[in-house]
Amino acid sequence: MQSALLTERKDQVIRNDKTTAVDITCDKDSAAGAISQRACVFCGSRVVLYPIADAVHLVHGPIGCAVYTWDIRGALSSGPELHRLSFSTDIQEIDVIFGGEKKLYNALIELIERHKPKAAFVYSTCIVGIIGDDLESVCKKVTKETGITAIPVQSEGFKGNKRAGYIAACNAMARLVGTGDTSNIPPKSINILGDFNLAGEIWMIRKLYEKIGITVVANITGDGRVDDIRRCHGASLNVVQCSGATMHLANMMKKEYGIPSIRVSYFGIEDMADSIYAVADYFKDEEMKKKAQEVIRQELAEVYPKLQEYKKALHGKKAAIYVGGAFKAFSLVKAFRLLGMDVVMVGSQTGTESEYRELQEITDEGTIIADDSNPLELSSFLKEKDVDIFVGGVNERPIAYKLGVAFCDHNHERKEALAGFTGMLNFAQEVYSSVLSPVWKFMPRKATTQLEQSND
């Protein structure tokens, strides 16, 4: 395993021995030449803002940045679908020389006329940061002329990693917050932050909150709408799931409007139930708490017996996790435990030291914990721990399959809803159908292991 690890990365991988305190290096730039699984600042902004469905999302840059992020999220909309189009200024050499502001202005005017969006987000890319186009002034001019708010997103790719992009996205949204009418928002109201409506997840979450008497003001950003974000400061509470992505906005709203926030997770039945209780507890409403219990009881009665069936089949199987944000990893560890499985490796692209400390607390002895890993390390972990299933995103998938390991896609491109009670059932079903598939028996690596075992 040491051979897979670059010398300068040795402090970024630890093994849980339960006795020594976590001493992991994280939140630093990826080593050059390390094939990091990370993306860039632009990517961070794009994934957060992308699901706002009635805004134009214009990428000011060369064509690649727009194309590689075209409709890659499974973020569904119940209405407009502007977010699924890929707009770009397609910067050319001549723009690099003479500046791209004029082109950006023309593009914005053209797209606003053509699509009549509620707002326009303009993403800055590496090259724009270098040639120094003034997005702020172009956006100001366009806003004035068209009446449609154009917002610059300062997301030059090289200015940090994905986390910096989350901050830039929150800063962009903060410009909308506070500009809408809040007069008819009831006191028992929340904003849902950090859910992106992959495969319709936010619709299920919203329904659960509404069942206990809560009004949801804004979805930020899954199935998101500009006008909802404008008035979301009228809500009483911010309920934040993907905290890496949207906690910054929640913090700003706390400072500006005094709106408190709670952190939740919708993944796994334990965390989902806790999320509903936490909101009910916040409003200190007995009726609401009773409703919450009732809702959760009903949902559990539906899924629990089925989950037990899966648990029987999956008991003792080994799982490895490598995801973008570490917060999601907590829920995944719990979810695997619910299925009777052991998590033997867990890592993230952008975790913080306290998150890794928490991971050490909730995982078993011997579990590998890794920050900003790469294919070479990941494949060596899979082999060393002989895992039965690997959870990750598209870039991780071929690593697993090549080595004959089952895989579950749990990043922002997934097409199956994995949140909430039904989502847990879907997750169990997906894990089950991958782990139990007969195809792994034919894979060279497994075939060799089995041969060795039968010779022993």
Residues numbered 84-103 forming contacts with another protein, rule: CB under 8 A:
85-93, 95-96, 103
Task: Decide: is 451 part of the binding site for another protein (CB under 8 A).
Answer: no
Q: By CB under 8 A, what part of segment 333-362 binds another protein?
A: none
**Contacting another protein (CB under 8 A), which of 42, 121, 356, 407?**
42
* Dist CA 325 CA 15 (whole Å): 19
Residue 456's CB is within 10 A of a number of other CB atoms, namely 5
Which residue in the set 344, 399, 408, 425 belongs to the binding site for another protein (CB under 8 A)?
399
With b for 16 or more beta-carbon neighbours within 10 A and e for fewer, the 409-448 pattern comes to bbbbebebbbbbbbbbbbbbebbbebbeeeebeeeeebee
Please report how many Cα atoms fall inside a 13 Å half-sphere around the Cα of residue 228, on the Cβ side.
20
Q: Could you tell me the smallest distance in angstroms from the CB atom of residue 75 to another protein?
A: 16
The vertex-44 CA angle with 107 and 175, nearest 5°, equals: 60
29 lies in the binding site for another protein (CB under 8 A): yes
Contact 347, 36 (CB under 8 A): no
Pick 36 or 236: Cβ nearer another protein: 36
Asked whether the bond before 246 is cis by omega within 30 degrees of 0, the reply is: no
Please, are residues 78 and 107 in contact by the beta-carbon 8 Å criterion?
no
**14, 43, 216, 326: residue in contact with another protein (rule CB under 8 A):** 43
Nearer to another protein, 23 or 113 (CB): 113
For the chain, the distance separating the N- and C-terminal CA atoms, rounded to the nearest angstrom, is 24
Antiparallel, parallel or unpaired: β 119-124 and 389-392? unpaired
CA–CA distances in Å: residue 224 to residues 82, 138, 158, 203, 335: 11, 25, 28, 11, 28
- For another protein, the closer CB: 3 or 19: 3
- Kindly state whether residue 58 participates in binding another protein, applying the rule CB under 8 A: yes
**Of 24, 55, 111, 296, the one binding another protein by CB under 8 A:** 111
Per-residue string for binding with another protein, 119-158, x by CB under 8 A? Answer: ------xxx-xxx-------------------------xx
Q: Could you say which of 11, 17, 18, 70 contacts another protein (CB under 8 A)?
A: 70
Q: Which is nearer to another protein, 107 or 212 (CB)?
A: 107
Nearest approach, Cβ of residue 68 and another protein (Å): 4
Residue 142 corresponds to which tokens in the numbers above?
């366009």
Report, in Å, the least distance between residue 372 CB and another protein: 10
With CB under 8 A as the contact rule, the residue among 99, 401, 416, 436 that binds another protein is 401
Site for another protein in 364-383 (CB under 8 A): 375-376, 379-380, 383
Site stretch for another protein (CB under 8 A), options 291-299, 356-364, 430-438, 440-448 = 440-448
Residue among 388, 403, 423 at smallest CA distance from 315: 388
